Amino acid sequence: MSLPPNNNKINSKKYSHILANPAVLFYTLPWLMLLIIIGTVSQRYIGLYDSVQLYFASIIFWLGPLPLPGGLLTIAVITLALTIKFLFFSKWNWAQSGIILTHLGVLTLLYGGLITSITTVEGYMVIPEDAQSSSFSSYHERIFKITPEKSAPIIIPFETLKIGKEISVSDLSFKIYKICQNCSAQAPTNPEDETLKALAVNMELISVPSEKEKEANLSGITISVVNSTNEDELGQYILLEDIPKNPKLSVSDSETATLSLTRAQTPLGFDIKLNDFRKINYSATNKAREYKSDLIIYDHGVEWPVHVSMNKPWRYKGYTFYQSSFVENPDQVATVLNVVQNSGRAFPYISSLIIFIGLLLHLIIRLNNLSRKGRGA
């Protein structure tokens, strides 16, 4: 008696054949190239970050009412198709070893790109001369931070803040009154209002159109502070991104808390001090031709000098530090370092080497076969 066919195995084999069909790449690769063109052109109008998020880091994006596959979905389909083709439909013999190695190199590049997209962290450091820092700032992520003296800080991502949201700390409740992604200031609408405190006495935040590059926006919030016990409003405060002096409030009889709106910080695990910054100008101009930072690294009791300049980055503990820019004023000069943590940065080199070896091996095998046929004739 014969057993009935296993429909699950049949369907799996059917779908595997469909995904491994060259037609999948025939349609997805041109679409990926088109996305690259659209995303590159759109950077001029919406900025680099928004363009990457919309076209390359998305599963789908909307063209009016029409949903279209984004870069993430397109590359996932290509990777899945090549993986199935490589594992289940390759001809595993010496004659095809060059092609197999080449396909392995391409897959290494694709999976390396996945690891890179998941693990990469990018930000910047601004270090004045004779100052040091142990963390770097995010280009895009902002946080609202309440830092009590005697307890752990409360950190809330700026993107999650909503008008009317309340945060309670001890005897106080902080209520979000106004939010602006990119702020400007004007004179207060009601300057006689006695609840206005600190910066709010002299200014009122208004929203202005966002900059193309998200990191150029100046974010801000207006908060209303209320006594949790009797619901009395104690004042309205303005928090602007990275202002030098932040308000301090008594949250209980024995404790105060500092309020701040700042960019998210990533700790490095070591300290960097700017010992000296040098700017070399073009002849007879004030335009910088090159700038260099002389740094001192402090890591668990050990210190040593490091030099970072344009086109000469420094790498340490998985981080790469690039000389990005500088800030100069009459009293002080500061270096600006771009910081990148990329766990997958070795994959392009590894995959390129595998592809090179695969193509070379394939060429040698082909030439050897042609030579045999010639001798046989």
pLDDT value at 3 more than 70: no
Q: What pLDDT does 67 receive?
A: 93
CA distance 201 to 193: 8
> What would the mean pLDDT of 12-24 be, rounded to a whole number?
75
3-state DSSP helix/strand/coil percent for the chain, to nearest 5? 35, 40, 25
Q: What pLDDT does 69 receive?
A: 94
Q: What pLDDT does 377 receive?
A: 58
Q: How confident is the model at residue 235 (pLDDT cuts 50, 70, 90)?
A: confident
Q: How confident is the model at residue 13 (pLDDT cuts 50, 70, 90)?
A: low
Q: What pLDDT does 7 receive?
A: 55
**What digits encode the pLDDT tens for the residues 280-298?**
888 777 777 788 999 999 9
Q: What pLDDT does 314 receive?
A: 93
Q: Give me the residues paired with residue 309 across strands.
A: 292, 312
As separate numbers, helices (DSSP H) first and strands (DSSP E) second, the chain gives: 6, 18
3 state SS of 81 = helix
CA distance 303 to 270: 10
pLDDT value at 1 more than 90: no
Q: Is the dihedral of CA 85, 87, 89, 93 positive or negative?
A: positive
Q: What pLDDT does 322 receive?
A: 93
Task: Give me 138's structure tokens.
Answer: 């995010």
Domain boundaries, the chain: 7-120+346-376, 121-135+267-341, 138-265
CB within 8 Å of 278: residues ≥ 6 apart = 291, 292, 294
pLDDT value at 363 more than 90: yes
pLDDT value at 117 more than 70: yes
> What would the mean pLDDT of 359-364 be, rounded to a whole number?
94
The dihedral region occupied by 275, where left means phi > 0, alpha psi between -120 and 50, and beta the remainder, is: alpha
CB burial readout 38-53, b (16+ within 10 A) else e:
ebeebbeebbbbbbeb
DSSP state of 111: H
**What digits encode the pLDDT tens for the residues 36-53?**
999 999 988 888 888 888
Q: What pLDDT does 359 receive?
A: 95
Q: What pLDDT does 275 receive?
A: 93
Q: How confident is the model at residue 116 (pLDDT cuts 50, 70, 90)?
A: confident
Contact 211, 217 (CB under 8 A): yes
DSSP state of 210: P
Q: What pLDDT does 4 receive?
A: 55
Q: What pLDDT does 11 receive?
A: 60
Q: What pLDDT does 349 receive?
A: 93
- Percent of all residues in the chain with a pLDDT value above 90, rounded to a whole number: 43
Q: Is the dihedral of CA 47, 50, 54, 57 positive or negative?
A: positive
Q: What pLDDT does 290 receive?
A: 83
Q: Cα angle at 257 between 125 and 152, to 5 degrees?
A: 70
Contact 70, 36 (CB under 8 A): no
CA distance 171 to 253: 9
Mean pLDDT over each residue of the chain, to the nearest integer:
87
3 state SS of 250 = strand
DSSP state of 266: E
Q: What pLDDT does 280 receive?
A: 81
CA atoms within 13 A on the CB side of 71: 19
Q: What pLDDT does 376 receive?
A: 65
The dihedral region occupied by 337, where left means phi > 0, alpha psi between -120 and 50, and beta the remainder, is: beta
pLDDT value at 374 more than 80: no
Q: What pLDDT does 135 receive?
A: 94
> What would the mean pLDDT of 312-340 be, rounded to a whole number?
89
Q: What pLDDT does 5 receive?
A: 56
Q: What pLDDT does 214 receive?
A: 75
